[in-house]
Structure formats: structure tokens, C-alpha cells
Amino acid sequence: MMRDITDVLATFKKESPLSTIRTKQIDYKKKDVKGMPERFLFECAIKLNMKPLTSAMAAILFHRFFREANDSEYDPYMIASSCLYLAGKIKDDPVKIRDVINVAYNTLNRGSQPLELCDEYWSMRDTIVQAELFITRMLKFELTTVHPHKYMLHYMKSLQDWFGVKEWNSLPVAKTAAAFLQDFHHSAKILDHKPDHIAVCCLALAFQTYGVQVPLTEEADEMTAWYNMFCKDLTREKHWEVIEDILEVYNAEAEIDEAED
């Protein structure tokens, strides 16, 4: 596990999946590799200037939909586009449907011009709107979710008091943990874990990545591990299971890059 964390550190300092999206263009039509639709979703979210919580919501909707649906029966890129549009409404971070259409179209068709109000535009618009309604019905109108983000903010405030403001602000842990959390939304496995567990494990991975020891605790001892102060039901086995699932995101990202090369 420590070897894997070291590998993640090396990768993470160079480029996380989200930063890679900003610099490396992927031909989504060229390859059919696991994780490509999720990467497309986040690339579009960045281009649409969506807030991190909105793009996370879109990813949750996307993963929940494909837990219920057969992924071979639906175009994942159109579902992702509809999830972005729907998430904007849910999180009061709305985007115009024309912007969603043009960003999605341009991302799928690199170098293309914005769509005119032609048959292709109206067809794509109708597809996104109909998919939005279908996603809502498929999820039985249960469109709210408890995000790990609010837990992470609470834990960070407590840890800042624990470390001391000056020392905490000198550490890269907060920024790194937040990036791990956002990147974890690329994986459907985020649905398998409790939000408070995810928040703690992103922080734990950030601590381990930078070799930071939480004062007055011993992580090797499950009884005195710092995360038990926040999540008493988080066992050592579950702790490592969540961290391993987070690390898988970076392995999947490497596979996408290899397929593109």
C-alpha cells in the first residue's frame, strides 16, 4: 500500500485527472475505454465553469443512473450532458442548455464551430431534455444526496485547531484532500461508501501522501487512530478499502492516457 501511495504522490504532483483534462485533449469518439464518459463529464463541467459541488452532483447522478440502466442501451455522453444540465438546476448553479449543447458537441468533435440552430442542434437539445426527464424517473425523483464535502470542511476545521492554524496552513493537506475527493467522483465506487468515511479517507490519503502525522495519535493503532475521533464506525479494513478505491481512479486515468497514446 505504501508503494501505491508513493506512486500516487508522484502522479498527483504532476497531474491529477482533473488537471490533465485541462491540458490534454482526448478523442472520445476514437476509443472505448472505461472511464471516458466520466472524464468527458468533468471536462465539460470545467468548460461550463461549474462549481465543484455541481460537477460532483452531476457525477453522482451519472453513476446512479448507470447502476440502474444497462450502459450498452444508452449513449453515456448524452446522459453525462443531461446530468450536467440537471445538476445545475439541483445545485442552483444553472447553465443554459445551449451552452451545454455547444460544450458537449465541441468536446466530442474537437475543433468544431458552435452548432447553428439547425436540425442537429434541435435533435441534440431534444435528446438532452428527454434524457433529463428519463434520468429523473429512473432515479425515482430522489435527486438529493449527502455530499462528503460538508464533512470534509467540518473535519478540516477540527484538524486546523488540532494542528494549530499556522502549521495547518503550511501543509498541502487541505488542497490535496479536496482534489482526491473531487477525483474520486470519476468512479462509481463513490456510491459504495458513506460520505463521512470518504471525507476522512481523502484526508488520510493526503496525510500519508505527504508523510504528515496527526499530533497525539497513532494510526497503526486502530484504537487511537485520529479518524476514529470523527467516524467511530470506520474500521481499519474499511479505511483501507476506501483508500484503495480512490487509488483506482489514478490507475484508470493511466489506462485512458495509454489508450490515447
Residue 4 in domain: no
pLDDT at 116: 80
Residue 100 in domain: yes
Residue 208 in domain: yes
Taking the model in full, what pTM does it have? Answer: 0.86
Residue after which a domain boundary falls, among 138, 162, 196: 138
Whether residues 131 and 84 share a domain: the answer is: yes
Whether residues 94 and 168 share a domain: the answer is: no
Whether residues 161 and 88 share a domain: the answer is: no
Q: What is the CATH number of the domain that holds 124?
A: 1.10.472.10
Calculate the CA 135 to chain-centre distance.
Answer: 19
d(CA 100, CA 206) in angstroms, rounded, equals 33
Whether residues 170 and 86 share a domain: the answer is: no
Residue 116 in domain: yes
Whether residues 158 and 77 share a domain: the answer is: no
Cell 493511466 locates to 254
Residue 143 in domain: no
Residue after which a domain boundary falls, among 95, 120, 138: 138
Whether residues 81 and 157 share a domain: the answer is: no
Whether residues 85 and 174 share a domain: the answer is: no
Residue 76 in domain: yes
The total number of structural domains that make up the chain: 2
What type of residue sits at position 19?
S
d(CA 156, CA 247) in angstroms, rounded, equals 21
Residue 158 in domain: yes
Structural domain that includes position 37: 32-138
The length of the chain in residues reads 261
249: cell is 481512479
Residue after which a domain boundary falls, among 138, 172, 196: 138
Give the chain as a DSSP string. Answer: -HHHHHHHHHHHHH--HHHHHHH----TTT---TTHHHHHHHHHHHHTT--HHHHHHHHHHHHHHHHHS-TTSS-HHHHHHHHHHHHHHHTT----HHHHHHHHHHHHSTTPPPPPSSHHHHHHHHHHHHHHHHHHHHTTT------HHHHHHHHHHHHHHHH-HHHHHHSSHHHHHHHHHHHHTTSGGGGGS-HHHHHHHHHHHHHHHTTPPPTT--TTSTTT-GGGGT-TT--HHHHHHHHHHHHHHHHHHHHHHHHH-
Whether residues 187 and 231 share a domain: the answer is: yes
Whether residues 153 and 254 share a domain: the answer is: yes
d(CA 97, CA 82) in angstroms, rounded, equals 9
Whether residues 176 and 212 share a domain: the answer is: yes
Whether residues 127 and 175 share a domain: the answer is: no
Whether residues 154 and 256 share a domain: the answer is: yes
pLDDT tens digit at each of 261 positions of the chain: 444 454 555 545 444 555 444 446 777 776 666 788 999 999 999 999 999 999 999 999 999 999 998 777 889 999 999 999 999 999 999 899 999 999 999 998 887 777 787 888 899 999 999 999 999 999 999 888 999 999 999 999 999 888 888 888 888 899 999 999 999 999 999 999 999 999 999 999 998 888 888 876 665 555 567 888 888 888 888 989 999 999 999 887 766 665 555
Cell 461550463 locates to 48
1: cell is 500500500
pLDDT at 167: 87
Residue 26 in domain: no
Q: Is 39 exposed, middle or buried (0-12, 13-18, 19+ CB in 10 A)?
A: buried
d(CA 86, CA 90) in angstroms, rounded, equals 6
pLDDT at 44: 95
